[in-house]
Amino acid sequence: MTTSTLIQSNDRLHKLRRMRNIASIMDAQFNVMGFKIGLDSIIGLIPWLGDVIAAIIAAYIIFEAYTIGIPKEIIAKMMGNVVLDMVIGGIPVIGDVFDILFKANLRNMRMVEAYVENEKWDV
């Protein structure tokens, strides 16, 4: 493995860890009555503004996925998850329950990790 390849591999690993951490914080940081919830569910209680803020944070995960070479088809699915989470999350009460159950960030990370494992990246 060349030095350049090693640096690239370490950068990908660092980005993947950061993405996982953010997804976990946003979707599963706290245990409330047996449900894992994250900041997405909490800030989502602020009508529309909370969902916009959560979508901006989710967009960062998508951007990082793009920078490490995740294919555009997966990026598009990830964007769809975030849009769905934002739109339905904006509906009072129903959207709050949806946020707790849907967990767009963790879904997106599962897609990224499945791709990375399937491609057998050095990370």
pLDDT band at residue 10 under the 50/70/90 scheme: confident
Evaluate if residue 4 carries a pLDDT over 70: no
Helix (H, G, I), strand (E, B) or coil at 64: helix
Among residues 58, 56, 55, 74, the alpha carbon closest in space to that of 66 is found at: 74
**Predicted local confidence at residue 90, as pLDDT:** 86
Look up residue 10 and give its amino acid. Answer: N
Question: pLDDT category, 48, cuts 50, 70, 90?
Answer: confident
Q: Does residue 38 have a pLDDT over 60?
A: yes
Could you please report the per-residue DSSP string of 1-61? --HHHHHHHHHHHHHHHHHHHHHHHHHHSEEETTEEE-HHHHHTTSTTHHHHHHHHHHHHH
Q: Mean pLDDT, the chain, as a whole number? A: 90
